């Protein structure tokens, strides 16, 4: 079923919207949740929570791109669950490594709230990503949005792990320089 029709089902409060969403986006959502949580049961529960959260979000929201809308909900729920679980048992994994890698580029929350709105930061990062070569942008998004491992990214794009790590490092360095130039970090 087309996304516009699924969205219409949500707006009409037709419960078949959830079944249609599950049929079309379950593997996509499960991939996101599994990359973040690394646990089958937690990923399944998060994907089910994603359907409920989508039901509660549409309406009032009317997403332009349903896959992105659902993916963002799933990612946020997965990260929240990961934070909750890691607070209990300080584990490592790809998320902690990915966040640590980006730490030097992204200003802390308190400096953002003092200087600029978070939305401006997001728009600036979007502008930066739009200026990258397609392969660099895809590798960056795989690592820092989907939290894919270096190994998985290298295999997906046919790169060596070394090349993938170097590409990510150079992109982070350029992002940091870009954010400095835009006055978001010093």
> Is residue 186, in this structure, part of any structural domain at all?
no
Cα–Cα distance for residue pair 139/121, rounded to 1 Å? 20
- The angle at the Cα of 121, spanning 59 to 116, to the nearest 5 degrees, equals 100
pTM of the prediction?
A: 0.66
Task: Give the residue from 1, 88, 71 showing the smallest Cα distance to 30.
Answer: 71
Q: What is the pLDDT along the chain (186 residues), one digit of tens a residue?
A: 999 999 999 999 999 999 999 999 999 999 999 988 889 999 999 999 999 999 999 999 999 999 999 999 999 999 889 888 776 554 455 666 666 666 666 655 554 444 445 677 778 888 999 999 999 999 999 998 888 889 999 999 999 999 999 999 999 999 999 988 888 777
CATH number at residue 120: 1.20.140.160
Residues 14 and 84 grouped into a single domain: yes
Alpha carbons within 13 A on the beta-carbon side of 101: 23
Both 66 and 98 in one domain: the answer is no
């Amino acid at each position: 079923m087309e996304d516009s029709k699924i969205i219409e089902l949500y707006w009409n409060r037709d419960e078949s919207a959830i079944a249609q969403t599950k049929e079309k986006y379950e593997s996509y959502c499960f991939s996101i949740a599994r990359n973040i949580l690394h646990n089958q049961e937690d990923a399944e529960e998060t994907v089910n929570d994603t359907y409920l959260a989508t039901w509660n979000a549409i309406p009032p929201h009317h997403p332009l791109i349903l896959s992105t809308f659902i993916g963002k909900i799933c990612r946020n729920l997965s990260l929240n669950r990961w934070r909750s679980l890691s607070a209990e048992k300080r584990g490592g994994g790809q998320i902690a490594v990915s966040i640590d890698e980006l730490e030097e580029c992204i200003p802390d929350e308190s400096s953002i709230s003092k200087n600029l709105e978070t939305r401006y930061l997001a728009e600036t990062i979007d502008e930066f990503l739009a200026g990258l070569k397609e392969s660099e942008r895809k590798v960056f998004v795989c690592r820092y949005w989907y939290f894919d491992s270096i190994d998985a990214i290298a295999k997906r794009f046919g790169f060596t792990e070394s090349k993938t790590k170097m590409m990510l490092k150079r992109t982070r360095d350029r992002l940091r320089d870009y954010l400095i130039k835009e006055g978001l970090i010093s």
